[in-house]
Structure 1
């Protein structure tokens, strides 16, 4: 049987499926791989299933043209932690797990929109610390999202799923900015520029892929273009937002608030963010549901099986 290396513990259903087709080596640690571990994995195994944080940068692939591994079957839809061009140059294919993550990630976006706009995390802390003194008419007034404008940056699968929730679930008007035109199954208006979206939206949701093209897409200039009461939601990749600029905007009351599921130097979250009241912070929960993680893992395994059997890869990137 072919040798498969899995870099983090996956659900039992996924491991059983993998063991039916491969000799599986499961790494016990939950931390990202180090460079030496990545290079060793390429030498020792036929297929590797890496995930977020396993930084397969160009230097990892140096001298690996004759390595045993010919496929990185990434666990996750995002693959900006893998230098795909360098992998291909070394003769190593890369796959991902699109589709499986769409609805669950959109749910987290909607949750962060509501939590940030209605100050839910702040209110929960008030209750837990025993500081709540009871209801009164002007206590913790937030932003009602019904009838407001949701601006979505990135209108792929996840962006569209967020748009459906915002429009049909919350009654929001949806505008979006995307590199190309989209045919949508919901009312939504494409705007010509990022600045136009930022200046019109009451809630801005980031749903773009990670990578060099989107790094610091939202920085000081973009935050200044947002409406003073608007909320910024990021469920894409942490470095899409210039974290220092966001902290400054939140500290200065320049925007209404933010909801984050991802961070620029994850898992490090700056103390300045952690002490602010007007930001909701989640520990990268986007796909954190058992059935979703099982579907992701099974998709990665199916790509690995297709590779070993000489069939076309199911989800090549």
Structure 2
């Protein structure tokens, strides 16, 4: 099976074995191509930035957009590198700022829900099993293209993360609630929800924004600790991950406090390092009725 996947994704394995200096050179080339030549989703990015930061000048907005596209291209090649990166190099490229918060919770038998976002290089969350020896699941929305969906799964599961399709997320978390071994579950919470989904509207980046209620509902039922993983970029290709407490005892939380606090954490993080959020995503497709 491993050999067949290597053959299937051979071009990406060939890219992955290249030194990071060469991969970053390729990233620079892709940046110039998508930003200056095809202008990939540039209208979406600029519109999102202008509405999120109305106080910023047009020059500042364009500067953030350029830094975002550079960062976005780096994410692509950093993720491809995961196919062949050594465990030692992976741990060198992602350090934990406050690992004690998550280690203490797991050692005390508490399951953890990482309420993550498309911030920093979220794909590097798959390195966590190298540093925290506990089962780890991530819930994802399958890509329409089966070939690239398979590639993404191959990358994300390489170090032991179990990928679970989002529609199976609730059942998976509930089923593991009686497991004697504590588990980390990761949910990305900043996608644009579907109209018929359970949602809550928050004030976020100067707009009324819909957020999925899934993590709010699940954590209140399971009482799993909810943490927000925030990326800081030390230098190109090197990140530090900080865990911010959203709710330690969700079953005691009232209403939609968890999703509201998540939106606050994410907004603060974006404000500090705006280039590291996924501005090309059509986040505000859903408008308040």
Short-chain TM bin:
0.3 to 0.5
Q: Larger % of strand: which?
A: 2
- Structure 2 length normalisation: TM-score? 0.37
The answer to which structure has the higher helix fraction is: 2
Which structure has the higher relative contact order (CA within 8 Å, separation 6+)? Answer: 2
Larger radius of gyration: 1
Relative to the length of structure 1, the TM-score reads 0.35
